[in-house]
Amino acid sequence: MSSARKKAMIRRDHPKLSTSLQCKLVKLSRSAFYCAPVGIDEATLTLKKAIDRVFSGYPFFGRRRITASLRREGTIAGRHRVRRLMARMEPGEICRRPRTSQSHELAPVLTGHLGLPKEALG
């Protein structure tokens, strides 16, 4: 059930149930009931568009190279903020990173301690 629907179920003027008890019954935190959600400010929206523009041009760039590219353009943004916004935007990866080692040994440490050959564990 969505939080908006849960908020609609709670009545402030209920004669027997307090607001906090109603929030517990519908499993909604009191802070979610009382506080309105805050929208995205204009600066963050502009930064998201700039990140998206750089990422669409260079999809292999990570957060550090995107941050450096934004700084070259004149947009000031920290690498942690760029990382957080990229995680929220979920641009996804275009190419999969290389898997250089496919080690699939079964308990390599135990073979030496037990004195068993590796074939005995498999």
The tens digit of pLDDT for each residue in 20-63 reads: 999 999 999 999 999 887 888 999 999 999 999 999 999 889 89
In a domain, 97, yes or no: no
Question: What pLDDT digit, counting tens, does each position of 4-31 carry?
Answer: 899 999 999 999 999 999 999 999 999 9
In a domain, 95, yes or no: no
User: CA-to-CA distance for 116 and 122, rounded, in angstroms?
Assistant: 11
pTM of this structure: 0.55
Q: Is residue 18 domain-shared with residue 46, that is, in the same domain?
A: no
Q: Is residue 17 domain-shared with residue 46, that is, in the same domain?
A: no
> Assign residue 90 a region: left if phi > 0, alpha if psi is -120 to 50, beta otherwise?
left
Structural domain tally of the chain?
2
| 3-class secondary structure, 10 | coil
In a domain, 81, yes or no: yes
Say if residues 78 and 55 touch (Cβ distance below 8 Å).
Answer: no
